[in-house]
C-alpha cells in the first residue's frame, strides 16, 4: 500500500507538469502549521528561480489546476508561495479502510530483504547483568524487531566476553579456595564431573574477589595470566572449568534477558573467533596490509581527509598476544563466512566510537568484508540518575539489572493496587507487563545517542509520554471493543473494515495520525531510530483519547456509524499493538 504522502505527491506532481513546471518540485511534507493545514508543498519557491516567476504566481496556478480533485477538500496558495493542503474526508476514509484490510496494516514488505546482524549484548560471563547492559539490549532488540517486521533477515548476536584475563582470574581464585578439585590434577585422565563446582551466586562473588586481589597481589595476577595462557592453549582441566563457567553464566543470562523479553538468535562468544585469528593475521601480513610498528603488528587506518588523529589498528601486541581489535575483526571474518551479511550493526556505548572507527576502517581496508557490506555504529548515551550521574544503587554501587526490574515491578504493583479490582495474582502479572513497558519506553523514547535521566516516578506514571500511558490507551480500546461485542450478542468484529468519512475534527485527526504508520516504520528502520516509533504512538494515543472523550461510541444509535467507529478503533488498536511489539513489550487485557 502506497504511503499517503506519495499519493498526494503524485497528484501535486501531475498539476506541476500540466502547468509546465518540473514535477520534481512537487515534494509534499506534513504541515509545520497543523492549525492552518494538514500537508504543504513548498515547491513553488525554488521553481520561481528557474522559471523567473513570483512563487505566489506559480502556487496559484497549481492550486487552480487542483480544483475539483477528489483527493483534497482544500488547497490554498499562501504568500510567499506555499501551497496548503487539506485532505478530502472521503479519500481519507478510503485510505483508512484500506489499511484495515491490509495484512500488515498498509506497510509494504521490503522488495530487497537484507541479512543484517546486530551485535547488542556484550556481557562478560561470570558477571551479573547490570544497568549498563540495559540500553544495548533494549535498543538492539527493537531494531531487530522493526527490521523483521519490514521483511529483513535480522540476526541478533549476544557476543559474550569469555576469553580474556577474567577467566584466568576466576580459575586462579578457585584453585586457591579448592586446590583439591580434580580440574587442577595434571595426572587426571578420566571424565570431569557434569556438575559445576560452583553456583551462579558463588561465581559472581569469585570474580570481583579475584579482580580485587590481582590489583593488590602481583604474584596472584601473574598466576592468573599464566592460567589464562594455559586455558587459551587448551589445558584440559582449565577447559573443563571454562565450560562450567560458560554453562552456569549463560543459563543465568538467558533468564535475565528473558525477563526483559530480549532474545538472541546467536549466543556467540569471543572464543568462537579465536580459530579465525591465525589465518586472518597471515592474510593481513601476506597482503601487505599489516606491518610491524614498535614491535606490534598494526594496520594503518588514517585517511588524508581526517581532521582528527586516528591511531593505527593494532592486530597483535609485541609479545604476539591478541587484543579486542583482533577478536572483533576475527568475529567479522566469522560472520562473513557463516552468514555473508549485508550489514552489521553494533549497538554499544557511544564512548567506543573511535575504537569502532578503527575496526571498521581496518575491516574495509583489508577487504575482509565485501565492498557493499555496511558496518554501522549505533552509540548510545548514558542512563543517569536524577542527580545527572550514571545510575547507581542507593549505596552508590552499580545496580544489578534484575534488581532494577524488580523495583519497577514493585512500583507498578503499588499503583495498580491503589484501584485494584482484580486478584492479587493478576495484579502482580499486570505489574510485570506494565513495568516492562515503563523501562523500555522510558529508554527508547529518547534518541539513542543522548544521555537520559532514569526517573522511576515519571516512567511509571499513567499520564504523559510513558509506556503505561500507551498501554492504558490500548486497554481502553480493548474495553470498548469488548462492550461492543457484548452489546451485539458476543458477535465478533465484521470482516468488512470500511470506515466512513470523519464526522468530527478529532476523528479526522485520529485518521491522519494512522496514515503516518507505514512511512514512520520505514523511517525508523532506515535511521535506526526506535524513538520515532515512540513519538508516533504517543501522538496516536493522544489523538485517540481526544476522539474518545468527544464521541459516544457505545451509546451511538446509528449502527452504521457505530460500526465505522468500531472499525477505526480496531485499526488503532492493531497499529498500537504492532508498534509496542517492535519496541519489545505488550499490553495486558486489563489494568
The rounded mean pLDDT for the chain is 94
pLDDT band at 525 (very low <50, low <70, confident <90, very high): very high
Q: What is the pLDDT of residues 485-512, one digit of tens each?
A: 998 877 666 678 999 999 999 999 999 9
CB-CB neighbours of 131 under 10 Å: 20
CA angle 144, 150, 155 (to 5 degrees): 30
Decide if pLDDT at 67 tops 80. yes
Tell me whether residue 248 is in a domain. yes
Decide if pLDDT at 336 tops 70. yes
Q: What is the pLDDT of residues 218-247, one digit of tens each?
A: 999 999 999 999 998 899 999 999 999 999
pLDDT value for 422: 78
Distance of CA 203 to CAs 168, 249, 318, Å?
13, 8, 33
| Chosen domain end from 87, 111, 140 | 87
Tell me whether residue 205 is in a domain. yes
pLDDT value for 397: 73
**Could you tell me if 463 and 549 lie in one domain?**
yes
Q: Torsion-angle region of residue 294: left (phi > 0), alpha (psi -120 to 50) or beta?
A: left
pLDDT value for 460: 94
Q: CATH no. for residue 15?
A: 3.30.1360.70
Sorted by sequence, the CB contacts under 8 Å of residue 71 that are 6+ apart come out as: 7, 8, 11, 87, 88, 91
**Could you tell me if 473 and 565 lie in one domain?**
yes
pLDDT value for 492: 61
Q: What is the pLDDT of residues 286-300, one digit of tens each?
A: 999 999 999 999 999
pLDDT band at 396 (very low <50, low <70, confident <90, very high): low
Decide if pLDDT at 589 tops 80. yes
Tell me whether residue 357 is in a domain. no
- Assess contact for 262 and 137: CB atoms under 8 A: yes
Q: CATH no. for residue 473?
A: 1.10.730.10
Tell me whether residue 542 is in a domain. yes
**Could you tell me if 77 and 192 lie in one domain?**
no
| Chosen domain end from 49, 68, 87 | 87
Q: What is the pLDDT of residues 68-99, one digit of tens each?
A: 899 999 999 999 999 999 999 999 999 999 99
Decide if pLDDT at 526 tops 90. yes
Q: Which domain holds residue 246?
A: 165-259
Tell me whether residue 368 is in a domain. no
Tell me whether residue 381 is in a domain. no
**Could you tell me if 480 and 577 lie in one domain?**
yes
**Count of domains observed in the chain:** 3
Please tell me the distance from the alpha carbon of residue 433 to that of residue 585, in angstroms, as a whole number. Answer: 7
- Is 219 exposed, middle or buried (CB count within 10 Å of its CB: 0-12, 13-18, 19+)? exposed
Q: Which residue from 165, 3, 194 is spatially nearest to 173, judged by alpha carbons?
A: 165
- Counting Cα atoms < 13 Å in the Cβ hemisphere of 122 gives 20
- Assess contact for 393 and 387: CB atoms under 8 A: no
Tell me whether residue 38 is in a domain. yes
Tell me whether residue 9 is in a domain. yes
Residues in the chain: 591
| Chosen domain end from 65, 87, 109 | 87
Amino acid at each position: 500500500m502506497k504511503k499517503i504522502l506519495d499519493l498526494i505527491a503524485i497528484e501535486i506532481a501531475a498539476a506541476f507538469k500540466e502547468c509546465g513546471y518540473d514535477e520534481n518540485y512537487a515534494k509534499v511534507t506534513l504541515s509545520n502549521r497543523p492549525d492552518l493545514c494538514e500537508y504543504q508543498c513548498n515547491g513553488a519557491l525554488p521553481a520561481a528561480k528557474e522559471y523567473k516567476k513570483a512563487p505566489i504566481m506559480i502556487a496559484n496556478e497549481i492550486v487552480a489546476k487542483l480544483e475539483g480533485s477528489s483527493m483534497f477538500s482544500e488547497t490554498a496558495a499562501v504568500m510567499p508561495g506555499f501551497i496548503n493542503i487539506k485532505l478530502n474526508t472521503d479519500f481519507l476514509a478510503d485510505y483508512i479502510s484500506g489499511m484495515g484490510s491490509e495484512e500488515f496494516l498498509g506497510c509494504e514488505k521490503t522488495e530487497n530483504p537484507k541479512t543484517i546482524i546486530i551485535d547488542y549484548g556484550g556481557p562478560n560471563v561470570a558477571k551479573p547483568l547490570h544497568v549498563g547492559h540495559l540500553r544495548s539490549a533494549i535498543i538492539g532488540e527493537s531494531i531487530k524487531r522493526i527490521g523483521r517486521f519490514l521483511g529483513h533477515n535480522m540476526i541478533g548476536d549476544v557476543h559474550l566476553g569469555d576469553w580474556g584475563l577474567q577467566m584466568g582470574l576466576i580459575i586462579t581464585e578457585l584453585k586457591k579456595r579448592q586446590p583439591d578439585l580434580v580440574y587442577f590434577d595434571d595426572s587426571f585422565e578420566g571424565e570431569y564431573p557434569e556438575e559445576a563446582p560452583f553456583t551462579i551466586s558463588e561465581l559472581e562473588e569469585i570474580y570481583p574477589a579475584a579482580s580485587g586481589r590481582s590489583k593488590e597481589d602481583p604474584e596472584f595476577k601473574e598466576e592468573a595470566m599464566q592460567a589464562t595462557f594455559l586455558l587459551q592453549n587448551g589445558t584440559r582441566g582449565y577447559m573443563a572449568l571454562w565450560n562450567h563457567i560458560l554453562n552456569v553464566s549463560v543459563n543465568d543470562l538467558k533468564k535475565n534477558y528473558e525477563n526483559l523479553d530480549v532474545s538472541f538468535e546467536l549466543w556467540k562468544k569471543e572464543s568462537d573467533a579465536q580459530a579465525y585469528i591465525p589465518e586472518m593475521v597471515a592474510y593481513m601480513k601476506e597482503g601487505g596490509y599489516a606491518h610491524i610498528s614498535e614491535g606490534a603488528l598494526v594496520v594503518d587506518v588514517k585517511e588524508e581527509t581526517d581532521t582528527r588523529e586516528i591511531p593505527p589498528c593494532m592486530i597483535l601486541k609485541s609479545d604476539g598476544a591478541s587484543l579486542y581489535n583482533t577478536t572483533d575483526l576475527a568475529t567479522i571474518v566469522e560472520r562473513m563466512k557463516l552468514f555473508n551479511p549485508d550489514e552489521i550493526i553494533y549497538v554499544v556505548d557511544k564512548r567506543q566510537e573511535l575504537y569502532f572507527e578503527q575496526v571498521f576502517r581496518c575491516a574495509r581496508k583489508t577487504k575482509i568484508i565485501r565492498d557493499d557490506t555496511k558496518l554501522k555504529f549505533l552509540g548510545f548515551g548514558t542512563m543517569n540518575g536524577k542527580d545527572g550521574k550514571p545510575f547507581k544503587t542507593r549505596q552508590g554501587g552499580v545496580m544489578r539489572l534484575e534488581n532494577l526490574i524488580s523495583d519497577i515491578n514493585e512500583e507498578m504493583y503499588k499503583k495498580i493496587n491503589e484501584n485494584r479490582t482484580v486478584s492479587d495474582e493478576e495484579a502482580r502479572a499486570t505489574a510485570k507487563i506494565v513495568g516492562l513497558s515503563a523501562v523500555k519506553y522510558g529508554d527508547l523514547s529518547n534518541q539513542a545517542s543522548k544521555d537520559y535521566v532514569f526517573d522511576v516516578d515519571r516512567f511509571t506514571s499513567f499520564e504523559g509520554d510513558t509506556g503505561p500511558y500507551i498501554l492504558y490507551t490500548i486497554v481502553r480500546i480493548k474495553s470498548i471493543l469488548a462492550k461492543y461485542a457484548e452489546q451485539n450478542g458476543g458477535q465478533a468484529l465484521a470482516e468488512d473494515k470500511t470506515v466512513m468519512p470523519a464526522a468530527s475534527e478529532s476523528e479526522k485527526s485520529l485518521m491522519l495520525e494512522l496514515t503516518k504508520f507505514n512511512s514512520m516504520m520505514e523511517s525508523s528502520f532506515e535511521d535506526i531510530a526506535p524513538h520515532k516509533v515512540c513519538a508516533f504512538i504517543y501522538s496516536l494515543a493522544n489523538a485517540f483519547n481526544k476522539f474518545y472523550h468527544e464521541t459516544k461510541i457505545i451509546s451511538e444509535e446509528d449502527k452504521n456509524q457505530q460500526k465505522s467507529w468500531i472499525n477505526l478503533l480496531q485499526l488503532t488498536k492493531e497499529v498500537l499493538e504492532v508498534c509496542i511489539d517492535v519496541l519489545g513489550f505488550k499490553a495486558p487485557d486489563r489494568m
